[in-house]
Chain A
Amino acid sequence: MKCSFLKQTVVFMKHYARCELSSKERFFAPLLFSATLLVMFNFSFGESIPRGYMVNIFVAEVFITLLFSLQLSFMRQFDLESEDNAFEVLRVSNVSYYALFLGKYFVSVISILCVVLPSVFLAWFFLAADLVDVEFSFYFYFSIFAALLGLSALGSLISALLQKLSGRELLYPLFFYPLGSPLFLLAQQIALFALEGKEIFSLLLVLLGLDLFYLVLALLLFDEIMT
């Protein structure tokens, strides 16, 4: 029986969501890693941050923590498929690779959001005393979400690509960070501008355009990897 594309995507989403929920460490490991990074950052800076730079430091902390913890989440994305040779089965079955990728992609965006939001709160808490007068706009959170849209597409693609290589732990950051940097730099600037109340719409459009570009590219290339 042939399943529609949408139905296949939903089935994959449900499956991957169950996988994410079944192993708690997939959520807690990046979260604890984020918390550790934030503690280290704040301890290193100590009380020496001038008040005028507090917002810049806060945004930088949030985004650097996000980028590092994303790597932890993405690197293990296709571990399950490799362990039980699910990729080989999927290759001979009649499923759409686009549906498989999108299922994985949507679940990864949601699960990473669950890591990022507590991390933002933690970063705010560490600098809370000096950030009380900063207005957290909707666009601050939206810039993080928009960065995740592109980074998740890129992260999933690189994870699938390097899955069977022996040195993937070394190679993954070498490709993920430089390729994801334009998204990261744009989102970081938008978040900063949003907190400072500056104009962000043109930059936001560029970021969303890049998200779409990376998603389409990742979809097309994922199909090539699978075939």
Chain B
Amino acid sequence: MMKVVFFFFFCLVLVWGSFLASSQVDVLQGEVYKILYIHVPNALCAFFSSFLLFLSSLFILLGKKKKFLPYAKASADIGFIFTLLTLVTGSIWGKPTWGTWWTWDARLTTTFLLAILYGAYHFLWQVAETTEKRMKICSVIGILIFADIPIIYKSVSWWRTLHQPPSLFVASSSPMSSSIYWPLVVSIILTLLFSLSLIVRRANNLKLAETLEEKAMKSSFS
């Protein structure tokens, strides 16, 4: 699994490097627009992680299958990292374009709250020590966290915001030029695959830790 993680990371670095080194410059934003290839995929990975958290939580809650617990936790952990990266890259983009590192924009605020929720999920996991408690409580919270995603996505339409409206997944054709659109799609696909490999890797580590813990418990009793 580690080889797969490194493979996707290597591809991603290669692709990002080539996009950043390209001579194409945006008429309005200049060179700074290139952070789009990092910021947008990171944001989508944060959403994608919460979707996996939702799916795992649903399987645990309805199917009573505890084997999905590590996947739920891994999704929350990786989602937390990608949400932080989204905030940081967004902030770097915001300074030259909006003239400020941070503003109380609805999209920024709700994304920041998503990071807090992912962090709180981690604390909840620590507090709910038994598998039974985790299966019930963490799964319900996992579903509630996912319920926040449509609100974050629609926030730019519901509130008056500085953040630009959706331009990637729109009913009509995207307002972006194809020379920006397709590299962005490649970047998104690679980042999603990278995040998925990280989630699987993290889930395997959690399973291993649980097995070792069980063995240690057994040996201490025997």
Contacts and interface: CB of A to CB of B under 8 A. Distances in A.
Interface of A: 154, 157, 161-162, 164-167, 170-171, 174-175, 178-179, 181-182, 185-186, 189, 203, 206, 210, 213-214, 217, 221, 224-225
A90 to B, nearest CB: 16
A161 B137 contact: yes
B137 A162 contact: yes
A157 B124 CA distance: 15
Contacts of A175: 117, 120, 124, 141, 144
B116 A174 contact: yes
Contacts of B116: 174, 178
Given A157-B140, A165-B137, A171-B123, 20 more contacts: A157-B144, A164-B133, A165-B124, A170-B123, A171-B124, A171-B127, A174-B123, A178-B113, A178-B114, A179-B144, A179-B145, A181-B109, A206-B158, A210-B151, A217-B144, A221-B144, A224-B61, A224-B140, A225-B136, A225-B140
A207 B123 CA distance: 30
Contacts of A217: 143-144, 147
Nearest to A165: B127
Nearest to A221: B140
A170 B110 CA distance: 21
24 contacts: A157-B140, A157-B144, A161-B136, A161-B137, A161-B141, A162-B137, A164-B133, A165-B124, A165-B127, A165-B133, A167-B127, A171-B120, A175-B117, A175-B144, A178-B114, A179-B144, A181-B113, A182-B110, A185-B106, A186-B158, A189-B159, A214-B147, A221-B144, A225-B140
B209 interface: no
A217 B143 CA distance: 9
A139 B128 CA distance: 42
Nearest to A224: B61
A24 to B, nearest CB: 32
Looking at B113, B144, B147, which has the most chain A CB atoms within 10 Å of its CB? B144
Interface of B: 61-62, 106, 109-110, 113-114, 116-117, 119-120, 123-124, 127-128, 133, 136-137, 140-141, 143-145, 147-148, 151, 155, 158-159
B71 to A, nearest CB: 19
Nearest to A173: B120
Contacts of B158: 186, 203, 206
Nearest to A210: B151
B159 A174 contact: no
A166 B127 contact: yes
Most buried by B among A171, A179, A182: A182
A189 to B, nearest CB: 7
A161 B128 contact: no
B181 to A, nearest CB: 30
A157 B123 CA distance: 18
A189 B160 CA distance: 10
Contact of B148 (A170, A179, A203): A179
Given A171-B124, A186-B158, A210-B151, A224 B136 contact: yes
Contacts of A174: 116, 119-120, 123
Contacts of B141: 161, 175
